[in-house]
A = this chain, B = another copy of it.
Amino acid sequence: MGRNSLKDERQKEIIQKYYLVAKKEGIENTSIAKIALEMDINPSLIIHYFKNKEELNYALVDFILEKYLIIYKRQNVEEDDLKGYLVELIDKLFSKKWNALFNDSIFYSCYAIGFRDNIIKGKFKRLHDSLRKHLSDVLMKCKIAGVIQIDSPEATADLIYVLVDGAYYYLSLISERGEYENKLKSYKEYAFGLLKI
């Protein structure tokens, strides 16, 4: 009996708006009051759904990291085309769109908070390990199928992600379009070189 709960939807709405506001103004300049203003609701409603700002931040980190996992959830899998799958994956990892989609101020701000908050650090660690594990599994399958010749799928996957992370770190500083594209291309070629493709 009683009214139906809107908790899940509202919480998601709030976090999404939080993300948008923070993206524009920076996480350090984003307050509960500002999110509420933007949503045209009362600040106390946000507290009603999230208890306090810390909880709100944890939810934001989860939101960001979940988005990241799309990389291996939205991909065509054709049973027989292992190599095609791998190439598509690497192509996506080193794509401008990918960087624009997931690499931003909020991501690094949250990452930085991880230095002082082990819960957040753990969330990031789990994300990156999960990405590495996925690539490693793909590489292992390719190796068994004779598509690629590498020693350790695990080490290679790790190295490729080190490359991805380092690449985006530097690329995000580049404002000149040509320079950006040249670099990105050369990093990608290098990654393919690791796989001897």
**Chain A residues near B (Cβ < 8 Å):** 24-28, 104-109, 111-116, 118, 121, 124-125, 128, 155, 158-159, 161-167, 169-170, 172-175, 183, 186-187, 190
Chain B residues within an 8 Å CB radius of A104: 115
Q: How many chain copies does the complex carry?
A: 2
* Bound CA–CA A164/B172 (angstroms): 16
* Bound CA–CA A159/B188 (angstroms): 11
B108-A111 in contact (CB<8A): yes
A190-B105 in contact (CB<8A): no
Chain B residues within an 8 Å CB radius of A106: 112
B28-A170 in contact (CB<8A): no
Shortest Cβ-Cβ A-B pairs, 6 listed: A166-B166, A105-B115, A108-B112, A162-B166, A28-B28, A165-B166
Chain B residues within an 8 Å CB radius of A169: 111, 162, 165-166, 169
Query: Can you sample 13 A-B contacts with CB below 8 Å?
Result: A26-B113, A108-B109, A108-B111, A109-B112, A112-B112, A114-B173, A121-B173, A125-B174, A162-B163, A163-B163, A163-B166, A165-B169, A166-B169
Given contacts A105-B113, A125-B174, A173-B121, whether A166 and B161 have CB atoms under 8 Å apart is yes
Across the interface, name the chain B residue whose C-beta is closest to A165: B166
A162-B175 in contact (CB<8A): no
* Bound CA–CA A158/B104 (angstroms): 22
